[in-house]
């Protein structure tokens, strides 16, 4: 049951583009093996900037394996009315995001 939300998130990504708004999911970390932060941004329509945005962080562990974070991400995506979800396939190392 703990990975139920992780599976639901993965299914939303696999469905591909189903319309606007689109939720974008990006993972950040101190190196290529551990994601310590995830950011979800909502893009209302084509050619628009990210509107609503929320992030989650973990000091220990990997955010990609945390079912509580996955559940909160799904709740945020649903609250924002996103019809599509796009997610990076790897960790993005970004100094200004990682502190």
11-37: per-residue pLDDT in tens?
999 999 999 999 999 999 988 888 999
Name the stretches of the chain with pLDDT < 70. 1-2, 94-99
How far is it, in rounded angstroms, from Cα 97 to Cα 56? 12
Q: Which pLDDT belongs to residue 1?
A: 35
Helix axes 4-14, 67-79, angle to 10 degrees: 50
Is the pTM for the entire model greater than 0.85?
Answer: yes
Q: Which pLDDT belongs to residue 94?
A: 58
Please tell me whether residue 72 adopts helix, strand or coil conformation.
Answer: helix
CB of 74 closer than 8 Å to CB of 64: no
Other beta carbons within 10 angstroms of residue 75's beta carbon come to: 12
| DSSP states along 4-67 | HHHHHHHHHHHT---SSSEEEEEEE-SSSS---EEEEEEE-STT--EEEEEEEE-SSS-GGG-H
Q: Which pLDDT belongs to residue 50?
A: 94
Name the residue among 99, 92, 96 with its Cα closest to residue 29. 92
Q: Which pLDDT belongs to residue 66?
A: 92
């Amino acid at each position: 049951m703990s990975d139920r939300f992780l599976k639901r998130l993965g299914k939303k990504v696999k469905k591909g583009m189903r319309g606007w708004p689109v939720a974008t999911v990006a993972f950040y970390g101190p190196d290529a093996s551990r994601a310590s932060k995830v950011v979800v941004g909502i893009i209302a329509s084509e050619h628009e900037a990210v509107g609503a945005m929320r992030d989650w962080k973990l000091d220990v562990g990997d955010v990609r394996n945390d079912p509580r974070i996955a559940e909160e991400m799904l709740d945020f995506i649903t609250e924002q009315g996103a019809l599509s979800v796009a997610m990076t396939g790897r960790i993005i190392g970004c100094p200004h995001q990682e502190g």
